[in-house]
Structure 1
Amino acid sequence: MSAARGRFAAALARVQGGLLAALLLWLPLSALPARAESEPPIAAAAAKPASEAAAGAAQPEATVVLFNRPIAVLRVPFLGAAPADRARRTEAVLNAVIDTGGPGEVKVQPHGQGNVLLIDGRLTMFLLPGDADAMRGESLEEATQAAVAALRGAIAATQESRDQGRLLKSLAHAGLATLAFLLACVVTWRAREWLSGRLSALLQKRMETLQVAGGHLLPRDKLVVIARWLVRLLSWLVLALLCYQWLSFLLGQFPYSRPWGETLNQYLIGVVSRIGNGVLHALPDLLVAIIIVGLARLVIDLAAPFFERLESGRGTLGGLDADTARPTRRLFNIGVWLFAIVMAYPYLPGSQSDAFRGLSLLIGLMISVGGSSLFGQAAAGLILMYSRTLRVGEYVRIDDHEGTVTEMRAFTAKIRTGLGEELTLPNSLVLGTVTKNYSRSVQGRGYIVDTTVTIGYDTPWRQVHAMLIEAALRTPGVLAEPRPRVFQTALADFYPEYRLVCQAVPSEPRPRAEVLANLHANIQDVFNEHGVQIMSPHYLDDPAQAKIVPRSAWFTAPATRDTGPV
């Protein structure tokens, strides 16, 4: 009785499969390939005008999916059914045939305008030449073989899902994988804590000796926090990778979710493969770029002893000396590096990408917008350096600012006044202003100190000369040789103008300011001692007597017969 029921159920399943196939293809069951006399109706039905296929090509394609697995892609309509309708009906037929529980033997039978796919002798799918992927140059036979392979895999997966023994085995594997995953997470967490503590102790020890430019590059606590964050980030990356692998393995243990696990594995492998291929393809060009940079560094190192010799003053070459050797060295190094960058740029990985091009465009825009003043200042700095207008250590007066030159940079010059001020002057200002250099015309060491006083015409000029020289010789730091000199620089309407010029030896800005202050104090003392007022008279009316110096007063002390014009 049971055997009879089984045969009846099998016969009923075959009848249902045939009816579904007829609904799919709009063909009767007599269209099976075993009867040759039925071919003309199928051929006539399949051989629709090519215009119908061409019109249906614009319709969206549809994928036939069985047990969560893609089987084939239907791209053209058939007998008025759109690709989406064909896929839906094909899936219904496949599920019905698979549910009968047969052996799942897949065969292909060419028929009419396409290929018929049979499962256990039952018609399940019809593939047309238009279903092949023309973009990849795929033929109907290739599309059919791919569909057959996918069907066999899906049927094997459905049969596996009905096997309770294999299901229990998959559950056991999933449980063991989960335990291993949890254990790996605990180990990673413990390793992170141990590595954080170890790294913190190492940094605490190393920071005592590790210094940059005489000080710590970062505060110790900040560096420890950064190190801990890096370790934490690494641990989270490891945990994410473990979770990814665990999920991929777990999904791969069950037939229905196995495609998802395979997709995860293929994605990770694809990412690693793309990165690896990118690195391998970039290595030759990167090696060329490294060689170019190495050659540039070699050229700079070979030229370094030459420039060091010039900077030390042990030699000269044309217009190069100790003053111009340093800026020339910088210009040479910049030129070599710029040349190396231009040569190595095409070999850098990603140099042809839009990101690199956008960055190059941004840099060029920044230089073009702000480059006029920048290059103007740099050009002025080069002119000052190579014309030797200023040198470090010289005492100068620029515009209304007077002091010692302490730095000569590419864009600015710095002078220190000795009054607690350090002035930063743009090179363009220095180049466009009259500069007085008090250190160039001296004999031997030191620099020039000068000051100006105006005394009325009724004071003998010889006496004024003598008093100014006496005040200069009283001032500490002023040299007796060469002897201070006095010049009458102007005969104004109300008074003559006297300028005292002497040579002093202090080299630092503050002592220079002190020398000038002491000189002014001594001038006042000397003039007071001899009863001469330091004043610049102005007249509202003509005086009763002429403001002249009688001959008897020409040599009033401290003037002598030897006191005369310079």
Structure 2
Amino acid sequence: MSLRIPILTLLLMMLASSLHAASEEVRPETAVLLESALETAPVEIDGQLLFRVRGVSSFPAQQRADAIRERIEKVAAEPSYPSERLSAEVVGNVTMIMAGQATLMIVSEADAQLEHTSRDHLAALHLSRIRQAIDEYRRSRTSDALVKAGLYGGGATVILALGIAVLLVLNRWLDKVLSRLLKNRVHAVGIQSFQILRSETILKAFHGLMLLIGVATIVVSAYAYLHYVLALFPWTRSISNDLFDLAAGAFEHMGKSVGASIPDILVLLIIYYVCRFVLRLTRHFFDAVEQKRVTFTQFEPEWALPTYRLVRVLIFAFALIVAYPYIPGSESAAFKGISIFIGLVFSLGSSAAISNLIAGYLMTYRRVFKVGDRVKVGDVTGDVIAIRLQVTHLRTIKNEEVTIPNSQILNGNVTNFSSMAVTPGLILHTTVGIGYETPWRQVEAMLRMAAKRTMGIVGDPQPFILLTALGDFAITYELNGYIHDPHAIAQIHAELHRHILDVFNEYGVQIMTPAYESDPSEPKVVRQEQWYSAPASSGQRTEAETANDGASPPALADQQPAGWRAR
């Protein structure tokens, strides 16, 4: 075999000399940095790594590695040339590994510095690895080796087919057995009569999980089969190594990611349990405040629950702020983008909800009203049946439920009929118009008598009368009486009006109509014998009427007012 030194060999020698000369002029610390930054490439034969080589800008490392590999394979493809005849010759500042007259590669001082060893030692190591690679290259391509590899490959194929068949049968058998065991034990998940997950859905999910496990097992078996069979033949051994490196790289990356996340996960667990402990302690404290076992001045017990809810939100917010940097993936652009999007949607779509929420807490601490109070909000009058963070529910006197946003309540006027009803009492009032010819003392006495007959109007403090207007045709009297039951305002009002009509009819005093035309021939009053005209009956008399039976009218009853007639 005649091998000649190519022109490329001379170029490599010149490059090696220049690299050696340049390395001698560079300071040691600078040389270390340059060597760590240099690109290297592997020299592989049939998927087996021999060594790595460096390159220069005019002859990159990958091109140099490919050239060395091609020359080694060319020598290995000549069975007549024994590997023992390979030699290492020193030429100037480099060592050349020769195959007869052909140069396989050049080892320079720069290559030795990259491996942190001497040039002669590195050349000897490379020479030994090249000889082993040539022998293995020839041995793996013999007829016996290829037949053996084919038999092993065929056996692996049979084992894979049998394994897949067994896995399929075993998967079906396990699916049937476990389905029978779980069929009577799996129940639907729901809230009362509403089913969130039906039992059939849970069983289908279980079947899908078993199928997924079977498919994953077959995929792993096929991967192991390909890795083994491809490694049997020299031409596909590099593909087998690539498959292994791909899987190993994926598992290595996953392992590093999980390992790097373990400290953050431990910190998150600590934050979780600390937050849980603080919440429990806070709940016990406010429960004690609500039950009056712990008291504070100027702090009402009914404020305990809403205050706890507010403090709980603050604790959650603080815990989230502390835990955010430790959440895996929190530094990624996708996580930040989703966080910004959620914050934007929350800020744009929840302005009204937040205003109602803040208004709910402000109403609680301002003691505007409480559950059970009779209030008037705008045009709605009713009893407070529920106070939520967002809205307040009222039940009107017509038994209608009205929902009012808390922000509307906070920004409007609220009349609370219950806050002052017990002490000193809620003042119930009504007005009547009486002619000028009737003495005002008589009118006030009759109004007090009507108030006294009315159940629900207390005697202490005493009712009082105000003259609110001296009109064109009548004097306007306002009767004011104290009550303690704000929920009976309508009933007390109605009963008071009935007694006013009765008292004024008893004493023949006419209540003025809205307009005056002329004096009527008779006063516009209802005589007592006509009070129970059909279909009314005396059985409908009130307790106050029964108590007044037999009472004689005062002397002022003899004074009859002048006549009036309605338009």
Contact residue 98 and residue 155 of structure 1 kept, 8 A = yes
- TM superposition shift of 1:392: 2.4
Match for residue 260 of structure 1 among 239, 244, 247: 239
Fraction of identical pairs, as percent: 23
Corresponding residue of 2:55: 75
Contact residue 485 and residue 502 of structure 1 kept, 8 A = no
Contact residue 458 and residue 481 of structure 2 kept, 8 A = no
- TM superposition shift of 1:325: 0.9
Match for residue 9 of structure 2 among 25, 38, 53: 25
DSSP 3-state at the match of 2:98 = strand
Contact residue 382 and residue 397 of structure 2 kept, 8 A = yes
Corresponding residue of 1:94: 72
Match for residue 149 of structure 2 among 159, 165, 170: 170
Unaligned runs of 5+ in 2: 24-38, 506-510, 532-544, 557-567
Corresponding residue of 1:413: 392
Contact residue 391 and residue 405 of structure 1 kept, 8 A = yes
Letter in 2 for 1:97: V
- TM superposition shift of 1:326: 0.6
Pair 1:404 & 2:378 matched:
no
Pair 1:104 & 2:83 matched:
yes
Distance 1:253 1:339 in 2: 60
- CA offsets, 1:259-306, max 9 Å, x none? 222222233223223333333343334323322321222222233333
Corresponding residue of 1:249: 228
Distance 1:241 1:325 in 2: 59
Corresponding residue of 2:104: 124
Cα 1:253–1:309 shift into 2, 3 Å? same
DSSP 3-state at the match of 2:421 = coil
Corresponding residue of 2:318: 339
DSSP 3-state at the match of 2:6 = helix
Contact residue 64 and residue 88 of structure 1 kept, 8 A = yes
Distance 2:498 2:183 in 1: 64
Which one is further off, 268-277 or 87-96? 87-96
Cα 1:389–1:167 shift into 2, 3 Å? same
Corresponding residue of 2:253: 274
Letter in 1 for 2:366: S
Distance 1:544 1:537 in 2: 12
Distance 1:209 1:44 in 2: 81
* Aligned residue pair count: 503
Contact residue 13 and residue 94 of structure 2 kept, 8 A = no
DSSP 3-state at the match of 2:295 = coil
Corresponding residue of 1:394: 373
Match for residue 201 of structure 2 among 215, 222, 244: 222
Distance 1:256 1:352 in 2: 44
- CA offsets, 1:113-172, max 9 Å, x none? 5443334774223466778998x9999889868866774565354223323333233233
1:170-209 equivalence runs, <5 A = 170-194=149-173, 196-197=175-176, 205-206=184-185, 208=187
Contact residue 292 and residue 301 of structure 2 kept, 8 A = yes
Pair 1:159 & 2:138 matched:
yes
DSSP 3-state at the match of 1:118 = strand
Cα 1:89–1:461 shift into 2, 3 Å? same
- TM superposition shift of 1:363: 5.1
Pair 1:544 & 2:518 matched:
yes
Distance 1:137 1:423 in 2: 87
Corresponding residue of 2:212: 233
- CA offsets, 1:212-262, max 9 Å, x none? 577544233333334433443344333333332222222222222222222
Distance 2:270 2:140 in 1: 60
Corresponding residue of 1:289: 268
Cα 1:200–1:126 shift into 2, 3 Å? same
- TM superposition shift of 1:420: 6.5
- CA offsets, 1:362-416, max 9 Å, x none? 4555566567655433332221112222222333221122333233233332333
Corresponding residue of 2:34: none
Cα 1:550–1:406 shift into 2, 3 Å? closer
Contact residue 132 and residue 138 of structure 1 kept, 8 A = yes
Pair 1:433 & 2:407 matched:
no
Cα 1:281–1:264 shift into 2, 3 Å? same
Contact residue 77 and residue 86 of structure 1 kept, 8 A = no
Contact residue 375 and residue 384 of structure 2 kept, 8 A = yes
Letter in 2 for 1:427: N
Distance 1:130 1:341 in 2: 55
Cα 1:84–1:237 shift into 2, 3 Å? closer
Corresponding residue of 1:35: none
Pair 1:325 & 2:299 matched:
no
Which one is further off, 380-389 or 148-157? 148-157
Distance 1:423 1:137 in 2: 87
Which one is further off, 490-499 or 545-554? 545-554
Contact residue 104 and residue 155 of structure 1 kept, 8 A = yes
Distance 2:216 2:479 in 1: 83
Cα 1:256–1:406 shift into 2, 3 Å? farther
DSSP 3-state at the match of 1:165 = helix
Q: What is the aligned-residue RMSD (CA, Å)?
A: 5.5
DSSP 3-state at the match of 2:408 = helix
DSSP 3-state at the match of 2:381 = strand
Distance 2:14 2:223 in 1: 54
Distance 2:370 2:121 in 1: 84
- CA offsets, 1:427-456, max 9 Å, x none? 221111111223333349xx9897x87766
Q: TM-score of the superposition, structure 1-length normalised?
A: 0.67
Distance 1:328 1:62 in 2: 68
- CA offsets, 1:490-529, max 9 Å, x none? 65979968789866598xxxxx9xx95x789879988999
Contact residue 427 and residue 480 of structure 2 kept, 8 A = no
Corresponding residue of 1:305: 284
Corresponding residue of 1:36: none
Distance 1:324 1:47 in 2: 88
Corresponding residue of 1:10: none
Letter in 2 for 1:96: K
Corresponding residue of 1:9: none
Corresponding residue of 2:359: 380
- TM superposition shift of 1:100: 0.8
Contact residue 117 and residue 126 of structure 1 kept, 8 A = yes
Distance 2:332 2:113 in 1: 32
